[in-house]
C-alpha cells in the first residue's frame, strides 16, 4: 500500500561570509513547488532586502544580544557601544578546509569571540534564521498554510555550502543544526546539504526553464564577496538531468576586492587630510550605492560628506561631495573581471565538450559594467554571456 503523501515545509538557508538568505516552499501533494525568498524580518515596518548580515553580537557573558537584521537599528547600535557587546563576523570561513582553496582574505579572518567555537556561533545564527522564518511564515502566510504549517508539518532544512566543502564541513554544520534544535534524532524534521554550484544551477533553471542553453551546456559563474565560483554543466540523458563536466573552480577574487580597492584609493587620496576619519563611511557608501550601479568609466561619481560646506579642490571635494572619476573606479573592477574571463576560458579548456554559454550570477551580476566587460572579453572566443532576469535575487 503506497505511503500517504503529506504536506512539508522546505526551508533553505544560504549562510555566506558577509550576508545570508532564507528561502521557503510549501510542498503539497499534487502541486509543483514554488520557491520564495523572505524579504521582511521582525521589527521591519516594510519589506527590505532579502540579504541578512551574517553577524552576531554577544554580551560579555556569552549570551546572544543581536543578530542579522537586528544589528543595523539605531537602538541596537547604542547598546553595542554602551554595553560593550562582542562581534562575531565572517564566522563560516572558520569551517573552510585549509588545503582546498588558497584564499587571499580581504582582511585577516577575525577570531571567534569569547572562546566560542565555529559550531557554537553557527548554531546561534541558525536559531536567529529559524526564528525569522517562523515569524515570517506565521505573519504573512494564510492561516491554512502559515501557523498550521509551521506547527504541524515536517520541515526539511536545506543548507548550501561552498563547492569545495565536503563531509568534514557538513558534519560540523550538522552539529550546529542539531545544537540549534532544528532537527533531533527522533523528530520528523530533515536536513540536506547542497553545494552552491548545484543550488545556482537549480535557481537558474527555475528562473528560465525554457532557455536553450540548458540543452547545449553552460558555465555558471557566481561572484560572492570573497570568491568567484565557477561550475560547468551539460545536459544528461534526460531533459531533467545535468552532468558536471569539470571539477568546480573557486578563485579568491570576489566582489569584496572591488570595495577594498576603493578603500585603498581613498586612503591614498585622503591619508594626510582631516577627512581621513571619514573614510569608513565613504567606503560604506561606495559599497552600498556606487559599486552596484557603476556603469560608465567616462562619468564622475560622488560620495556625500558629513557637511555640505566642505570644499578642497586638490582632494576633489566640492560643496560636501568627493568626486571619484569613473576611469579610476573602472580599475577597481579590473582584477575581478579578468578573473571571471580567465576562469571561464579555463573551464572551456579542461572540459571534454565545448561550452559556448556563460551565465553570470551573484552580487555583481546585475552590474551592467561587469556584464559588458565580461561579454567583450569572451565574445572573441565564441562565448555568449547573459544573466537571468532576476539575478539580483541571488
CB 358 within 8 A of CB 340: no
155, 172, 196 — which closes off a domain? 196
Whether 174 and 82 map to the same domain: the answer is: yes
Q: Is residue 320 assigned to a domain? A: yes
Q: Is residue 1 assigned to a domain? A: no
Whether 177 and 152 map to the same domain: the answer is: yes
Kindly tell me the sign of the dihedral angle through the C-alpha atoms of 293, 294, 298, 304: positive
Higher confidence at residue 138 or residue 394?
138
320-359 residues labelled b (16+ CB within 10 A) or e (exposed): ebbebebebbbebbeebbebbbebbeebbeebeeebebbb
Whether 51 and 189 map to the same domain: the answer is: yes
Q: What is the pLDDT of residues 301-314, one digit of tens each?
A: 999 998 877 888 88
Q: What is the pLDDT of residues 120-135, one digit of tens each?
A: 999 999 999 999 999 9
Q: According to the model, what pLDDT value does residue 104 have?
A: 57
Whether 88 and 234 map to the same domain: the answer is: no
Widest pairwise Cα distance in the chain: 82
User: d(Cα 123, Cα 177) in Å, to the nearest integer?
Assistant: 6
Q: What is the CB-side half-sphere exposure of residue 175 using CA atoms within 13 A?
A: 12
Residue 361's domain spans which residues? 210-254+335-393
Whether 14 and 155 map to the same domain: the answer is: yes
CATH at residue 114: 3.30.420
H-helix or E-strand spanning residue 369? helix 368-378
pLDDT at 299 over 80: yes
CATH at residue 217: 3.30.420.40
Q: Is residue 307 assigned to a domain? A: yes
Entry pTM: 0.82
Whether 348 and 384 map to the same domain: the answer is: yes
Whether 49 and 154 map to the same domain: the answer is: yes
Cell numbers given for 42: 521582525
Whether 162 and 281 map to the same domain: the answer is: no
Whether 260 and 250 map to the same domain: the answer is: no
Q: What is the pLDDT of residues 348-392, one digit of tens each?
A: 888 867 788 999 998 899 999 999 999 999 999 999 999 876 544
Q: Is residue 222 assigned to a domain? A: yes
What is the number of domains present in the chain? Answer: 3
CB 72 within 8 A of CB 55: no
**Continuous H helices in 220-298:** 256-270, 279-285, 291-293
Whether 125 and 227 map to the same domain: the answer is: no
User: d(Cα 329, Cα 259) in Å, to the nearest integer?
Assistant: 10
In this prediction, residues 15-21 reach a mean pLDDT of 91
User: d(Cα 357, Cα 384) in Å, to the nearest integer?
Assistant: 5
Whose grid coordinates read 562619468? Answer: 299
Q: Is residue 205 assigned to a domain? A: no
Q: Is residue 204 assigned to a domain? A: no
331, 357, 373 — which closes off a domain? 331
Cell numbers given for 31: 502541486
CB-based burial label for 67 (10 Å; 0-12, 13-18, 19+): buried
User: d(Cα 123, Cα 134) in Å, to the nearest integer?
Assistant: 16
pLDDT at 251 over 80: yes
Whether 39 and 27 map to the same domain: the answer is: yes
Whether 148 and 48 map to the same domain: the answer is: yes
197-212 residues labelled b (16+ CB within 10 A) or e (exposed): bbbbbebbbebeeeee
Q: Is residue 358 assigned to a domain? A: yes
173, 196, 219 — which closes off a domain? 196
User: d(Cα 162, Cα 313) in Å, to the nearest integer?
Assistant: 46
44 φ/ψ angles, rounded to the nearest 5 degrees: -90, 120
Amino acid at each position: 500500500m503506497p505511503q500517504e503523501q503529506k504536506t512539508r515545509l522546505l526551508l533553505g538557508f544560504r549562510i555566506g561570509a558577509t550576508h545570508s538568505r532564507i528561502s521557503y516552499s510549501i510542498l503539497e501533494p499534487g502541486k509543483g513547488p514554488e520557491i520564495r525568498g523572505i524579504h521582511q524580518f521582525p521589527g521591519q515596518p516594510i519589506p527590505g532586502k532579502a540579504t541578512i548580515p551574517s553577524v552576531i553580537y554577544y554580551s560579555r557573558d556569552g549570551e546572544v544580544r543581536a543578530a542579522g537584521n537586528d544589528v543595523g537599528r539605531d537602538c541596537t547600535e547604542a547598546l553595542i557601544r554602551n554595553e560593550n557587546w562582542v562581534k562575531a563576523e565572517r564566522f563560516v570561513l572558520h569551517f573552510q578546509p585549509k588545503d582546498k582553496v588558497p584564499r587571499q582574505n580581504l582582511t585577516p579572518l577575525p577570531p571567534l569571540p569569547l572562546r566560542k567555537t565555529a559550531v557554537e556561533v553557527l548554531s546561534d545564527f541558525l536559531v536567529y534564521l529559524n526564528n525569522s522564518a517562523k515569524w515570517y511564515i506565521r505573519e504573512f502566510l494564510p492561516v491554512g498554510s502559515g501557523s498550521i504549517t509551521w506547527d504541524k508539518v515536517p520541515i526539511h532544512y536545506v543548507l548550501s555550502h561552498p563547492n569545495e566543502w565536503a563531509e568534514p564541513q557538513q558534519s560540523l554544520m550538522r552539529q550546529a543544526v542539531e545544537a540549534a534544535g532544528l532537527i533531533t534524532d527522533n523528530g520528523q524534521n530533515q536536513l540536506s546539504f547542497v553545494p552552491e554550484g548545484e543550488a545556482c544551477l537549480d535557481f537558474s533553471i527555475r528562473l528560465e526553464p525554457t532557455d536553450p542553453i540548458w540543452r547545449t551546456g553552460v558555465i555558471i559563474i557566481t561572484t560572492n564577496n570573497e570568491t568567484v565560483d565557477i561550475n560547468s554543466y551539460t545536459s544528461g540523458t534526460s531533459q531533467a538531468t545535468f552532468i558536471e563536466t569539470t571539477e568546480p573552480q573557486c578563485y579568491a577574487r570576489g566582489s569584496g576586492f572591488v570595495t577594498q580597492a576603493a578603500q585603498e584609493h581613498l586612503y591614498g587620496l585622503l591619508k594626510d587630510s582631516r577627512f581621513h576619519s571619514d573614510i569608513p563611511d565613504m567606503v560604506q557608501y561606495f559599497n552600498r550605492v556606487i559599486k552596484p550601479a557603476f556603469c560608465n568609466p567616462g562619468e564622475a561619481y560622488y560620495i556625500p560628506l558629513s557637511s555640505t560646506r566642505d570644499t578642497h579642490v586638490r582632494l576633489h571635494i566640492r560643496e560636501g561631495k568627493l568626486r571619484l572619476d569613473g576611469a579610476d573606479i573602472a580599475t577597481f573592477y579590473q582584477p575581478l573581471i579578468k578573473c571571471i574571463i580567465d576562469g571561464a576560458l579555463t573551464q572551456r579548456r579542461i572540459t571534454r565538450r565545448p561550452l559556448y554559454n556563460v551565465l553570470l550570477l551573484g552580487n555583481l551580476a546585475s552590474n551592467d559594467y561587469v556584464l559588458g566587460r565580461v561579454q567583450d572579453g569572451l565574445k572573441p572566443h565564441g562565448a555568449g554571456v547573459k544573466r537571468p532576469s532576476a539575478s539580483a535575487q541571488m
